[in-house]
Chains A and B, each alone.
Chain A
Amino acid sequence: MSGDAHVDDPAGTSPPRVSIEDLTKYYGQTLVLDEVFLDVAHHEVVCLIGASGSGKSTLLRCINQLVPFDYGTIRLDGVPIDDASFGKTGLRKRIGIVFQAYNLFPHMNVLENVTLAPRKVHGAERRAAEANAHRLLELLGMSAFADKYPEQLSGGQQQRVAIVRALATDPDVLLLDEVTAALDPELIGGVLDVIRDLKAQGMTMVIVTHEMGFAREVADRVCFLEEGRIIEQGPPSQLLVDPEQPQTRRFLQRIIDAGRL
Chain B
Amino acid sequence: MSAERAAPPDGSRRAGPRPPVKATLTPKERYLPALISVVSTVVVFGALWRVVTSAENWPLIQRQFFNVDAMRDALPMVWRGFLINMGVWVVALLIIALLGVVIAIFRSLTGPWAAPLRVFAVIYIDLLRGVPSILLVLLFGLGVPALNLPGVTDSRLFWGSVALILGYTAYTSEVYRSGIEAVPDGQRAAAKALGLTQWQVLRYSILPQAVRNVVPALLNLAVALQKDVALLSVIGAREAVREAQIFTARTFNFSSYIVATGLFLLATIPMARLTDWVTRRDQERRLQRTL
Contact = CB atoms under 8 A, between A and B. Distances in A.
Given A105-B205, A107-B212, A116-B204, A121 B189 contact: no
B267 to A, nearest CB: 31
A92 B204 contact: no
B128 to A, nearest CB: 31
A151 interface: yes
Contact of B196 (A66, A89, A104, A166): A89
Nearest to A119: B204
A176 to B, nearest CB: 12
Interface string B174-185: 000000000010
A92 B195 contact: yes
A92 B190 contact: no
B186 A165 contact: no
Contacts of A116: 194, 196, 204
Contacts of B200: 120-121
Interface residues of B, number: 20
Given A107-B209, A151-B289, A99 B196 contact: no
Nearest to A122: B195
Nearest to A118: B194
A106 B209 contact: yes
Contact of B194 (A106, A107, A151, A165): A165
Contacts of A103: 184, 186-187, 189-190
B271 to A, nearest CB: 26
Q: What's the interface size class on A, roughly?
A: 20 to 34
Contacts of B204: 105, 116, 120
A105 B190 contact: yes
B289 A92 contact: no
Interface in A78-136: 88-89, 92-93, 96-97, 99, 101, 103-107, 116-117, 120-122
A180 interface: no
A96 B194 CA distance: 7
A105 B191 contact: yes
Contacts of B187: 103, 105
A169 B189 CA distance: 17
A159 interface: no
B123 to A, nearest CB: 28
A24 interface: no
14 contacts: A89-B195, A96-B193, A99-B190, A103-B184, A105-B187, A105-B205, A107-B209, A116-B194, A116-B204, A120-B200, A151-B289, A165-B194, A166-B194, A169-B195
Q: Which 7 A-B pairs have the closest CB atoms?
A: A103-B190, A93-B195, A117-B194, A103-B186, A121-B195, A92-B195, A97-B193
Interface of B: 184, 186-187, 189-197, 200, 204-205, 208-209, 212, 288-289
